[in-house]
Structure 1
């Protein structure tokens, strides 16, 4: 069976002027008449931006003003995840294409203003103010330039006096004061104003507690802890750890084993009630091994009941028959003073 050829594509390739390269891409250029966006090669062929960042930059530049370009909105529009889209937006922001500032609204609310600059180099030089409007071109009249020099209109010329007959005196013209309109200031988009600095948090974040470490990390204890960590994915599919994670968390598990915690108890503690989805399993295990570390088991002497202090028994005085505390029978204090006995 012969290979099918696209006749229309063959005619389009035949119409390409100049010599056709033997390899590589060929461009069949058809001029746009409506719904197109002018994108600079500095963005489309950027040497440091990723392909996702270039695609998102072209997409944002083609949207009209007021469109949602947040991470949630872009993740709902494209198959890429929120993490990849957030990294692409940070790339555009680092290279000057995207500007995100927080401004305070009239009612006291704080909102994020996003401005996309099609030529970040011109904005940095201070020659152009970005247009807060759609970037889609159409067949209508050309858009107004971004910033123009303010031209002061020339004063209205005073009409010359009309010739009158000789028998009437010619009135002298009344000088009209020259009126120069006051130029209006060029409005600056609200997104380019100074961002509102929000008050810093007053509560201080607590420093992270270090991982527990056993008193003596023997090779056998390390091997048992590493085996327990590597075996966790059999009991929970989300707890997949790398070799580096196992090596870092092994001393903490060894500290649990040194405190006589059984492997089943450690496994239940690390695999119970896992969040869905679990994005950072190593961080979760690090927190649980540190925050839920059990105390050392008490010894035999610690579990023994406390010994009561010896109590001196009661005795009956031989003289006045009053009760008093003493280890030997005899007289009370008053009777000893009366009979002159030694205490």
Structure 2
């Protein structure tokens, strides 16, 4: 049996105007009447989105309001796994197509609203309300008869002359067929000119949390430098960077990279950072694979810069002894207040007690007289 030909496809190709291309795709565009979604080329041909992210975006855009678009809800209807769907949602969120907003309800419950925008760059442009077209005066002009610029004055009424007997009398036209009088040809009053009010741009209904890719990025922070440059710091920083590959082989730097990163390492050394601590802060837990080690070192040298060590005055303030205040105590004998670290007797009571203990007790007079 011979290969069957699709006559419908052949007929559709025959209806395409112009010559068909010899290579590439041929589009047969049949207009949709129901169940269709309009997708912009900025999404379908986005250079930074994967095909999975584009497909997930088209599926979300085709769903009705209030439909569940979480990872598990999409994985239940798609062949992709939860990891690929989560990665696609992160791509869409990075480029502004998808937004997740946390909102607190009047009852106190916190919910997360998922908002999908089919054209995120249009949110940054101010949108104005549609202005009604000016009132047309075509119907009024069509109804009003055309007025001559300078109408000729009406001729004076002539006295009726008797018709000759041999000439038949002409019939008179009815009132509705008679030509209008000159007074009826006056132009109708002109309508007042329409008042054009410049519409003010309403505030944006939705402010994207993630800036679009075209938004200007802040300039990067400069590499730190020592406050007092010294040749000793530069030599120590150069030796540190040149020897870094022995401890971390993935941080092999070129001569230009070492020259550019020397001021940052010198700033760390100036702040009394030990080489082992610097090496641990710069090379700990690098990304895999590490494509640009010099850029990672520059970022960490800038963002993880330790604070400067305290000065002599700050250390002197820390070493300054504190003044100890002796508390008040109440005397157990006379109940007077006195300062002492421990409770007991005041000074006068202690002296009286010491004098009383030093005076010897003599014999009584009765005993001496009897003897």
TM-score for both structures, normalised by structure 1: 0.38
Q: Give TM-score, length-normalised by structure 2.
A: 0.36
User: For the pair shown, which has the larger CA radius of gyration, 1 or 2?
Assistant: 2
